[in-house]
Structure 1
Amino acid sequence: MRKYTALFFLIMFMIGTDTFLISPLLPTLQTQYGVSTGIAGWMIGSYTLGSAVFALIAGPLSDGWNRRTVLLGGLLGFSVSTILCGFADSFWTMCLFRILAGVSAAFTAPQVWASIPAVMPAASVSKTMGIAFAGLAAAQALGVPIGSWLATANWSVPFWTIGFASLLLAASAFTLLPDMKPGANQGDRTSILRRYVPLIASGKARSGFSAYLLLHLGSGTAFAFVGKWMADRFELPIGQIGTVMMFLGFGTLLGSMISSYVTRKLGDANAVAAGMSLLVILYTIMPHLANLQLVTIVYLTIFATLGIIFPIVMGALTSLNASIRGTISSLANSTMNGANTLGAWFAGLLYVHLGGYSSLGIFSAVCLALSLGIFLYGGVLGRKTARTDQESTSTS
């Protein structure tokens, strides 16, 4: 079973690295293509837009297909489109290839979450989920900085490296993974829209995904231009930006590792409330700090807090209805990437027209405060309420 755990970790590591890679490369690519700061963020947003839109389709379809086939197809498409990013000779060509990479990721990442319960013993599912999530955190801690360092030779090198490494992972998945065909009651011709009906009908699900959208909108907006802000404020070259990003990723990795401990001590609702309250404060004050070391410490704390919160929230969402886990996982992925798409767009507008990075900090703090209010008001993290609502959605 360790082979599956390692495979899922590495797949999420590659997807996470590719997802976050553009942020530290943004100043270099902006110069390479000669585009304004206001639209440069679309090199991030194009990837998340493709992933957000097609995840809405990929999830319901995958609940009725062989998950192994869907994962392999998505991983192959992800590999090829990422390699093509390294050959992009214009801003719009880069955006096109990033959209294709996002579409491919939309068919790949949700299959990891949905496949774990299918191939792992029940006692190992929770641990494997945590290890797979740690792949995303490790991507920020190691993948993104390594990509930044590789880019010092040529900006194309990180894309080629990720693409070819993903091809090797696709070959490994083809060899290792068994078929995961749907059960008799899942492989029917139920329409895509009808698979979402239990979630649409659930007030708890509506609250949960609304709060999840705001959580990612706030964190994604701040992260989109952190590389640009560090280059402008502290005059950092791309290699040093990558080094700072490494500390941010280690924060996420640390948070994901201690998330279960914090939950046991505080409970889901208290852990999320305390963490998001801290984030509101840190996002507000961080843009006004003039010392790079202090900024790094604050951002490490932010990402460690996010690393604690995200597994708790994702666990609450995936427990809403076990019979449509693929749909829920894909909707969560779509919500995250939709928020990051909006965040990249808002980040460019706010950075240029409303006072630079300080306006991004205020926007992020407001989003986090609203998200916390919806989480608490909607009872998404309450165990008793969640069980009741799951029963009601299961019978819808």
Structure 2
Amino acid sequence: MLKYSILFFLVMFMIGTDTFLIAPLLPTLQAEYGVSTGIAGWMIGAYTLGSALFALVSGPLSDGWNRRTVMICGLAAFSVSTALCGFADSYWMMLLFRFLAGVSAAFTAPQVWASIPAVMPPQRIAKTMGIAFGGLAAAQALGVPIGSWLAAADWPVPFWSIGAFSLLLAVAAFLLLPDMKPSGQSRASIFSRYMPLITNGRARGGFLAYLLLHLGSGTAMAFIGKWMADHFELSIGGIGNVMMGLGCGTLLGSVISSAVIRKLGSTRTVTSGMLLLALLYIVGPHAGLSPAVMIYFVIFTVLGVIFPLVMGLLTALNASIRGTISSLANSTMNGANTLGAWLAGLLYVHFAGYASIGIFSAVCIVLSLVTFRLGGLVTGAGSEAKQQSKPA
């Protein structure tokens, strides 16, 4: 079972690293292609746009296919499209390849979440979810320095390196993963696969709560660097160091997630964790530099505990459409983070700076908790956990 945990961690690490990779390269690529600052950001947005749009389609399609095959093909396509970014000789070609990399990620990442309950014993599901999320957390902490280090030779090197390693992961998935064929409804339409979620009150409440959770955390995340630069006069390097530390907090949370859940149970973990988040989001913007770093380290750690737990509860809603659930969760996350970034700009400029963002994030977190509890996803965690042992 360790081989699956390592594989899933590395897949999510590669996808996460590719997501964060372009941030340190943006000034170099802007100069390389001679584009303005206003449109340079689309080299990041093209990836998330492709991922968000195609996640809505990839999940339902993959529920009718062999998950092993989908993951292998997704990794291979991700490898090729990312490597091609290193050969892009124009801005528009880079946008195309980044978009295709996002599309490939939309077919790959959800298979990780959907495959874990299929290949792991019930008692190892929560821990493996935490390990896989740890791959994303590690990428958040290390993606920027990895990109900067590799780009020291030449800017295409990071893209080629990730492409080559992702191809090796595709080979590893081919050799290690068992077949995970659908149990039925292989010819069902895309819309029909969403119907069990649309008609299920717990699913509707769970996804609304998941949206609010990411909206709160995403809004706070979007302008934390801007706030630290304005309020504490930190340099870009200083902000980068802080963000690496916060990413390590998320990684720590994902590592201890299963132990915390065993100790407190799902309901108390979510309830106590989200109440703590709401309090810290309000207090954080008013603290000095060192206390603020510690506060946000705790916030990122708590999020690292909660996110894999909630993902596990969502994928347990219906064993036959785990790919659909995982993909919808991915789109929900990307949509919430995009909306959060836009709202953060409005709040920061027009409503008392980062303090207003903290209040907004806290309100979102409290509403998310209320929705989780009223919708029954968390309070019904005990019964849903039993479903995780059913075959996909």
* TM-score after normalising by structure 1: 0.84
Whole-Å Cα distance in 2 between the matches of residues 347 and 206 of structure 1? 26
- Would you say the 8 A contact 1:12–1:135 is kept in 2? yes
Distance 1:155 1:283, change over 3 A: farther
1:380 aligns with 2:373: no
**1:25 & 1:230 partners in 2: Cα distance?**
21
Matched residue, 1:329: 326
Mapped partners of 1:42, 1:8: distance in 2: 29
Output the CA distance in 2 between the equivalents of 1:362 and 1:86: 41
> Counterpart of 2:3?
3
Structure 1 residue 62, shift from structure 2 partner: 0.8
> Corresponding residue for 1:72?
72
Change (3 A) 1:2 1:378: closer
- Pair 1:31–1:265, CA change in 2 (3 A): farther
Q: Shift of residue 294 of structure 1?
A: 3.0
Determine the C-alpha separation between the residues in 2 that align with 1:113 and 1:54.
16
Change (3 A) 1:58 1:41: same
Distance 1:281 1:331, change over 3 A: same
Read off the aligned partner of 2:262 and give its amino acid letter. Answer: R
Q: Secondary structure at the match of 1:244?
A: helix
The aligned counterpart of 2:217 is 219
Contact 1:145 1:245 in 2 (8 A): no
- The secondary structure found in structure 1 opposite 2:37 is coil
Q: Kindly state the Cα deviation for residue 325 of structure 1 after the two structures are TM-superposed.
A: 1.6
CA contact (8 A) 1:148 1:239 kept: no
Conserved? CA contact 1:71–1:108, under 8 Å? yes
Deviations 1:155-190 (A, max 9, x none): 55444432332122223223333433323x242x11
2:200 is matched with 202
Percent identity of the aligned residues? 71
* Residues 288 and 126 of structure 1, relative CA distance in 2, 3 Å threshold: closer
- What residue number does 1:340 align with? 337
List gaps (5 residues or longer) in structure 1: none
Alignment coverage as a number of residue pairs: 385
Q: Do the aligned partners of 1:147 and 1:158 also contact (CA within 8 Å) in 2?
A: yes
Matched, 1:311 2:308: yes
For residues 79 and 143 of structure 2, the distance between their equivalents in structure 1, rounded to whole angstroms, comes to 16
1:299 and 2:296 aligned: yes
Amino acid at match of 2:267: A
Pick closer, same or farther for the CA change 1:18–1:381 going to 2, 3 Å.
same
Matches of 1:301 and 1:217, distance apart in 2: 18
Distance 1:83 1:256 in 2: 29
- Alignment CA distance shift 1:180-1:302 (3 Å): same
Distance 2:151 2:339 in 1: 26
Residues 1-396 of structure 1 mapped to structure 2, 5 A cutoff = 1-22=1-22, 33-36=35-38, 42-86=42-86, 94-121=94-121, 124-151=124-151, 156-183=156-183, 185-187=184-186, 189-234=187-232, 236-291=234-289, 293-351=290-348, 354=351, 356-383=353-380, 387=384
Per-residue CA deviation, residues 31-61 of structure 1 (Å, 9 max, x unaligned), is 874324xx76655443333212211111111
Cα distance in 2 for residues equivalent to 1:359 and 1:25 = 31
CA contact (8 A) 1:76 1:170 kept: yes
In structure 1, distance between residues paired with 2:198 and 2:67: 24
Please report how far the alpha carbon of residue 302 of structure 1 lies from its aligned counterpart in structure 2 after TM superposition: 0.9
Kept after mapping to 1: 8 A contact 2:219/2:340: yes
More deviation, 326-335/277-286: 277-286
Query: Does the 8 Å CA contact 2:313/2:381 hold for their aligned counterparts?
Result: no
Assess if the C-alpha contact under 8 Å between 2:129 and 2:312 holds in 1. Answer: no
The 8 Å contact of residues 266 and 381 in structure 2, kept in 1 or not, is answered as no
| Amino acid across the alignment from 1:215 | L
Is the CA contact 2:126–2:309 (under 8 Å) kept in the aligned structure 1? Answer: no
What TM-score results when the alignment is normalised by the length of structure 2? 0.85
Residues 152 and 302 (structure 1 numbering): CA distance in 2 closer, same or farther, change over 3 Å?
farther
Query: Are the structure 2 counterparts of residues 118 and 376 from structure 1 closer, same or farther at C-alpha, using a change threshold of 3 Å?
Result: closer
